[in-house]
Amino acid sequence: MISGTVFDIQRLCVHDGPGIRTTVFLKGCSLQCFWCHNPESLKHHKELMFFSEKCMQCKECIERCPEGVHTLENGEHLLDRTKCKTCGACASHCMTKALSMAGVTMTVEEVMEEVMKDVEFYKTSNGGVTFSGGEALLQIDFLEAVLRACKQNSLHVTIETAGNVKWEHFERILPHVDLFLYDIKMMDSLKHKQYVGADNARCLSNVEQLIKRGKNIIVRVPVIPDINDHDKDIEAITNFVKHINKEIPLELLPFHKMGQTKYESLGLDYEAKHLEAPSQETMQRLNTIILKK
C-alpha cells in the first residue's frame, strides 16, 4: 500500500487554483527559502510543534512522553527537542492543541476519503484538488498514485511546484494534471543558490519543458523585499517566460509574515523577521511590468 507524509489538508480553499478546492500539503522540500510561510513543510520527517501561548501547563505531556522531552521550570514549559522521537504521544493527549505533529503518514485511500468530502463544491464551482508542499513532486510514487485516484474520480487537479526535481518526476504525472502553479523566485542562479539553497537550472529548464509541451501553467513569483522586489528582477522573470510563450500568465505574491509563529513552534529562528510586506505601490509598480510585456 502506497503512503506519503502529509502535513495538512485544507478544505474550501479559493487561492490554490480555480473554484473551491481541497489543498493537500506534502511534507519535504528541495529548496529552503528563509521566508517560507510553511516552515513545517521544509523537512521530510515528522516534527513536533509547540505553541506556548496555548499551553495551560496541565503536565499531561510530561506524563505521556517516554523520553523526558517536556519540563516545567520556573513556570516555563521547556522542550529538549534533541530527545524527541516524534512518536506523537504528547500531542495526541494535549487538550488545548498546544502540541501538534507536523506530518502524518497517509495512504492514498485516506487522502481520497478527505478529498471526496467536498466533491459537490468542486462540481458547482469548477474547483478540484490542489497538491502543494513543500515540494509535492518529491514524493513522486505517492503523488502519482493519488493523482491517478483523483482522475478516476474525474477531479480537476492542480499542482503547486517550484520545479526543483528531475524532469522524470514531471513526466510521470503529466497525464493527470490540469494546471501547474509554478513558482519562479529569481533568474540570477548564484543569488538563487545563496537564498534558497540550490541553483535554478532545473527549475527553469522544467518550466520551459512544460510550457513547450503546451501544459496549462500560471507562473507565480513570491515578491520578497530586498531579495527580488526590484524592477530588474521581475523584468528578468517576465522576459524569460514570455520569450518561451507570451500567453503564459504571471502572478505576483507579496511576502507576508503569517508563518512566524510556526517557526517559533518548531524551535526555529525566523530569519525573515526584519522584512516588511511590500507596499501597495511596490506591488502596483511590479504588476505593471508583468502586464505590459
Which residues of the shown chain bind ligand SF4 in the complex (CB under 6 A)?
A: 48, 55-61, 64-65, 67, 69, 77, 84-90, 94, 96, 98-99
Length of the chain: 293
Least Å distance, CB 267 to ligand SF4, is 12
Residue closer to ligand SF4 by CB (options 86, 287) is 86
Q: Which is nearer to ligand SF4, 36 or 94 (CB)?
A: 94
Q: Give the burial class of 291: count Cβ atoms within 10 A of its Cβ; 0-12 exposed, 13-18 middle, 19 or more buried.
A: exposed
Q: Shortest distance, CB of residue 71 to ligand SF4, whole angstroms?
A: 10
**Residue 261 neighbours by CB under 8 Å, 6+ apart:** 51
Nearest 5°: the CA angle 143, 146, 47 is 55
Q: Which is nearer to ligand SF4, 40 or 160 (CB)?
A: 40
- As measured in angstroms, the least distance from the Cβ of 32 to ligand SF4 is 23
Is the Cβ of residue 45 or residue 166 nearer to ligand SF4 in the bound state?
A: 45
CB of 132 to ligand SF4, least distance (A): 25
Q: Checking DSSP bridges between strand 217-223 and strand 179-183, what pairing results, if any?
A: parallel
Least separation in angstroms between residue 205's CB and ligand SF4 is 40
Cite the beta strand spans of the chain per DSSP E. 3-13, 21-26, 47-50, 70-73, 76-79, 99-102, 104-107, 128-132, 156-161, 179-183, 217-223, 250-254
Collapsing DSSP to helix, strand or coil, 208 comes out as helix
Which DSSP letter does residue 272 get? Answer: T
H/E element, 242 = helix 231-244
Closer residue to ligand SF4 in complex, CB, 2/58? 58
Shortest spacing between CB 60 and ligand SF4, in angstroms: 4
**Nearest residue (CB) to ligand SF4, 75 versus 214:** 75
